């Protein structure tokens, strides 16, 4: 736009107020649009990260607990070595909470019982987190961090390391037939352990307790002592009149699912006697 001055009569080029306002309006609209696009992209990325973390973190926790349970498979030296698992569940500020303790003991040269290895997984309600915090403690002769072990020795207390915050459900059970036991204090090891946890927002049930739908939980069933040898039963060949061989006690299909881990307790009536074997020699 040309502007003529009164004194010199020269023309100068510039922008009118309307043109400046138009440029400012257009620039503002472009900035607002860019901010909106950036906000949507940031929100989408955040949702994707949350979705990945929601699945990844629970799976990593379940894997770590399973690895701790697998450590009890490794036998200790000495016939008096012993392993025990204890489980208990409770409600902490209406949240489902649990504790799993794995203890391996042995007797030293003085015949005194010593703790070789003890691992504790437990959740506790935290007011600031407004939910459960999952802790893990490892003590005994096989602690991963010697510095942590020294601190435990000085304080004479277990040092619980926070693993994750924001849990809304943590439960550990022992399958027993068609039932699920919430408590296990037996000296015998359970056959399997069922672990359930969730970070999803809970709701109140009819009893006023906070819970989570089963399809929103991360669940894993861990077999205990999976490397135990199963005794094989020798069955002499026996063909009936229809040309069909007799049932084999080693055939898992003829056993009840509850007896799967009790194969070594089948009677030995079909075992060959050593004397008979020598006579056939």
Report, as an integer, the average pLDDT of 159-187: 92
pLDDT at 169: 96
Is pLDDT above 70 for 202?
Answer: yes
DSSP string, 180-247: EES-B--SSPPSEEEEEEE-SPPEE-TTS-EE--GGGSEEEEEESSTTPPPPPPP----B-TTS-BPP
Q: Are 173 and 89 in contact (CB under 8 A)?
A: yes
Higher pLDDT, 81 or 106: 106
Q: Are 112 and 95 in contact (CB under 8 A)?
A: no
**pLDDT > 70: what percent of the chain?**
61
**pLDDT > 90: what percent of the chain?**
32
Is pLDDT above 90 for 92?
Answer: yes
Phi-psi domain of 168 (left: phi exceeds 0; alpha: psi -120 through 50; beta: other): alpha
Task: Give bridge partners of residue 173 from the DSSP assignment.
Answer: 194
Is pLDDT above 90 for 86?
Answer: yes
Report, as an integer, the average pLDDT of 54-68: 88
Pairing label, strands 210-211, 203-204: antiparallel
Please give the mean pLDDT across all residues of the chain: 75
Tell me how far apart the alpha carbons of residues 38 and 46 are, in angstroms, rounded to a whole number: 12
Tell me how far apart the alpha carbons of residues 33 and 42 are, in angstroms, rounded to a whole number: 14
Q: Which residue is it, tokens 């020795």?
A: 153
Tens of pLDDT, residue by residue over 67-83, are 999 877 655 444 445 88
H helix or E strand, kind and range, residue 158: none
Where do the H-state alpha helices sit in the chain?
17-70, 146-155, 274-280
Lowest mean pLDDT among 47-56, 61-70, 161-170, 235-244: 235-244
C-alpha closest to that of 116 among 125, 108, 124, 106:
106
Tens of pLDDT, residue by residue over 219-275, are 999 988 655 544 445 455 555 555 555 554 444 444 444 443 443 443 444 444 444
C-alpha closest to that of 192 among 253, 257, 254:
257
């Amino acid at each position: 736009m040309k502007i003529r001055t009164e004194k010199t009569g020269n023309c100068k080029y510039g922008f009118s107020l309307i043109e400046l306002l138009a440029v400012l309006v257009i620039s503002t609209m472009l900035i607002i649009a860019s901010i909106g696009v950036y906000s949507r992209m940031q929100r989408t990325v955040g949702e994707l990260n949350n979705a990945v973390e929601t699945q990844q973190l629970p799976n990593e926790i379940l894997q770590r607990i399973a690895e701790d349970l697998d450590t009890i498979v490794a036998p200790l030296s000495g016939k008096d070595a012993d392993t025990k698992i204890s489980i208990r569940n409770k409600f902490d500020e209406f949240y489902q909470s649990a504790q799993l303790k794995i203890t391996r003991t042995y007797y030293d040269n003085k015949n005194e019982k010593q703790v070789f290895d003890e691992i504790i997984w437990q959740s506790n309600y935290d007011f600031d987190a407004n939910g459960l915090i999952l802790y893990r403690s490892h003590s005994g002769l096989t602690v991963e961090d010697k510095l942590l072990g020294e601190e435990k020795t000085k304080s004479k207390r277990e040092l619980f390391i926070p693993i994750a915050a924001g849990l809304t459900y943590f439960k550990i059970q022992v399958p027993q037939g068609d039932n699920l036991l919430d408590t296990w204090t037996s000296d015998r090891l359970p056959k399997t352990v069922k672990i359930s946890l969730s970070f999803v927002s809970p709701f109140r049930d009819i009893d006023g307790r906070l819970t989570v739908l089963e399809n929103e939980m991360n669940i894993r069933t861990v077999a205990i002592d999976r490397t135990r040898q199963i005794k094989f039963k020798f069955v002499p060949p026996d063909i009936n009149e229809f040309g069909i061989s007799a049932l084999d006690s080693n055939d898992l299909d003829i056993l009840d699912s509850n007896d799967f881990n009790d194969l070594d307790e089948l009677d030995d009536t079909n075992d060959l006697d050593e004397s008979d074997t020598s006579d056939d020699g």
